Amino acid sequence: MVQQTEVETVKVTMYCTDWCPYCIRAEKLLASKGAIINKINLDDQPDRRAEMVERTGRKTVPQIYIGDRHVGGHDEIVSLDKNGDLDVFLRNGSSST
Protein backbone atom coordinates (compact mmCIF):
# COMPACT_ATOMS: atom_id res chain seq x y z
CA MET A 1 0.00 0.00 0.00
CA VAL A 2 1.31 3.41 -0.97
CA GLN A 3 1.04 6.00 1.72
CA GLN A 4 0.66 9.57 0.59
CA THR A 5 1.96 12.33 2.77
CA GLU A 6 0.04 15.54 2.46
CA VAL A 7 1.81 18.73 3.36
CA GLU A 8 -0.65 21.00 5.07
CA THR A 9 -0.18 24.63 4.23
CA VAL A 10 -0.96 27.49 6.55
CA LYS A 11 -4.23 29.25 5.85
CA VAL A 12 -3.96 32.35 3.74
CA THR A 13 -6.28 35.32 4.05
CA MET A 14 -6.42 37.70 1.12
CA TYR A 15 -8.30 40.96 0.90
CA CYS A 16 -9.10 41.37 -2.79
CA THR A 17 -11.47 42.67 -5.43
CA ASP A 18 -12.82 40.90 -8.49
CA TRP A 19 -11.28 43.23 -11.01
CA CYS A 20 -7.77 43.63 -9.62
CA PRO A 21 -5.12 41.96 -11.81
CA TYR A 22 -2.65 41.86 -8.91
CA CYS A 23 -5.20 39.91 -6.88
CA ILE A 24 -5.69 37.41 -9.69
CA ARG A 25 -1.94 36.93 -10.08
CA ALA A 26 -1.42 36.61 -6.34
CA GLU A 27 -4.20 34.05 -6.08
CA LYS A 28 -2.70 32.02 -8.94
CA LEU A 29 0.72 32.00 -7.32
CA LEU A 30 -0.67 30.99 -3.92
CA ALA A 31 -2.94 28.35 -5.46
CA SER A 32 0.02 26.91 -7.36
CA LYS A 33 1.59 26.26 -3.95
CA GLY A 34 -1.52 24.44 -2.78
CA ALA A 35 -2.51 27.22 -0.39
CA ILE A 36 -6.01 27.34 1.01
CA ILE A 37 -7.10 30.93 0.49
CA ASN A 38 -9.78 32.64 2.48
CA LYS A 39 -10.70 35.51 0.19
CA ILE A 40 -12.26 38.62 1.65
CA ASN A 41 -13.80 40.14 -1.44
CA LEU A 42 -14.22 43.86 -0.91
CA ASP A 43 -16.66 44.08 -3.82
CA ASP A 44 -18.99 41.79 -1.89
CA GLN A 45 -18.08 43.13 1.55
CA PRO A 46 -17.20 46.82 1.09
CA ASP A 47 -17.45 47.43 4.84
CA ARG A 48 -14.36 45.33 5.34
CA ARG A 49 -12.11 47.76 3.44
CA ALA A 50 -11.79 49.85 6.61
CA GLU A 51 -10.79 46.70 8.50
CA MET A 52 -8.08 45.99 5.91
CA VAL A 53 -6.68 49.52 6.16
CA GLU A 54 -6.79 49.37 9.95
CA ARG A 55 -5.07 45.98 10.12
CA THR A 56 -2.45 46.50 7.44
CA GLY A 57 -1.96 50.24 7.15
CA ARG A 58 -2.33 49.77 3.38
CA LYS A 59 -5.04 50.91 1.02
CA THR A 60 -4.36 48.72 -2.01
CA VAL A 61 -5.50 45.20 -2.74
CA PRO A 62 -4.42 42.52 -2.48
CA GLN A 63 -3.35 42.42 1.15
CA ILE A 64 -2.26 38.98 2.16
CA TYR A 65 -1.85 37.20 5.47
CA ILE A 66 -0.14 33.86 5.83
CA GLY A 67 -1.50 32.67 9.12
CA ASP A 68 -1.37 35.83 11.19
CA ARG A 69 1.68 37.15 9.39
CA HIS A 70 0.95 40.11 7.13
CA VAL A 71 3.14 39.65 4.07
CA GLY A 72 1.87 42.57 1.99
CA GLY A 73 0.61 42.60 -1.58
CA HIS A 74 1.33 40.90 -4.87
CA ASP A 75 4.84 42.28 -5.37
CA GLU A 76 5.87 41.19 -1.91
CA ILE A 77 4.75 37.60 -2.34
CA VAL A 78 6.55 37.44 -5.68
CA SER A 79 9.73 38.59 -3.89
CA LEU A 80 9.13 36.07 -1.11
CA ASP A 81 8.71 33.36 -3.72
CA LYS A 82 11.97 34.34 -5.42
CA ASN A 83 13.98 34.08 -2.22
CA GLY A 84 12.26 30.89 -1.08
CA ASP A 85 10.50 32.38 1.94
CA LEU A 86 6.99 31.98 0.54
CA ASP A 87 7.25 28.18 0.68
CA VAL A 88 8.69 28.37 4.18
CA PHE A 89 5.95 30.68 5.43
CA LEU A 90 3.22 28.54 3.85
CA ARG A 91 4.59 25.48 5.59
CA ASN A 92 5.48 26.98 8.93
CA GLY A 93 3.35 30.09 9.09
CA SER A 94 3.39 31.50 12.51
CA SER A 95 3.01 30.07 15.97
CA SER A 96 -0.66 30.90 16.27
CA THR A 97 -1.91 28.90 13.27
Q: Shortest approach of ligand GSH to residue 94 CB, angstroms?
A: 21
Residue 83 in 3-state DSSP?
A: coil
CA distance 1 to 19: 46
Q: Does 14 bind ligand GSH (CB under 6 A)?
A: no
| Residues 62-81 close enough to bind ligand GSH by CB under 6 A | 62, 73-75
Q: How many residues bind ligand GSH (CB under 6 A)?
A: 10
Among 29, 4, 22, 16, residue whose Cα is nearest residue 87: 29
> Out of 60, 69, 81, 85, which residue is the one contacting ligand GSH (CB under 6 A)?
60
CA distance 93 to 19: 28
Smaller CB distance to ligand GSH: residue 70 or 92?
A: 70
